[in-house]
Chain A
Amino acid sequence: GIQVEQSPPDLILQEGANSTLRCNFSDSVNNLQWFHQNPWGQLINLFYIPSGTKQNGRLSATTVATERYSLLYISSSQTTDSGVYFCAVLYWGETSGSRLTFGEGTQLTVNP
Chain B
Amino acid sequence: DVKVTQSSRYLVKRTGEKVFLECVQDMDHENMFWYRQDPGLGLRLIYFSYDVKMKEKGDIPEGYSVSREKKERFSLILESASTNQTSMYLCASSFRVRTGGNEQYFGPGTRLTVT
Contact = CB atoms under 8 A, between A and B. Distances in A.
A86 interface: yes
A95 B50 CA distance: 8
Given A97-B97, A99-B48, A42 B106 contact: yes
Contacts of A103: 42
Interface residues of B, number: 27
Contacts of B94: 97-98
Contacts of A31: 102-103
A52 to B, nearest CB: 12
Interface of B: prevailing SS? strand
A17 to B, nearest CB: 26
B50 A102 contact: no
B80 interface: no
Contacts of B111: 41
A42 B56 CA distance: 24
B35 to A, nearest CB: 8
Interface string B95-115: 011001011111111010000
B88 interface: yes
Interface string A68-112: 000000000000000000101010101111111011110000000
Contacts of A98: 31, 94, 96-97, 102, 104
B90 to A, nearest CB: 7
Nearest to A48: B103
The 10 closest A-B CB pairs, nearest first, are: A97-B50, A43-B106, A98-B102, A48-B103, A41-B109, A102-B43, A97-B31, A42-B108, A97-B96, A104-B42
26 contacts: A33-B103, A40-B108, A41-B90, A41-B108, A42-B107, A42-B108, A42-B109, A45-B105, A86-B43, A88-B104, A90-B104, A92-B102, A95-B56, A97-B30, A97-B31, A97-B50, A97-B94, A97-B97, A98-B96, A98-B104, A99-B33, A99-B58, A100-B33, A100-B104, A102-B43, A103-B42
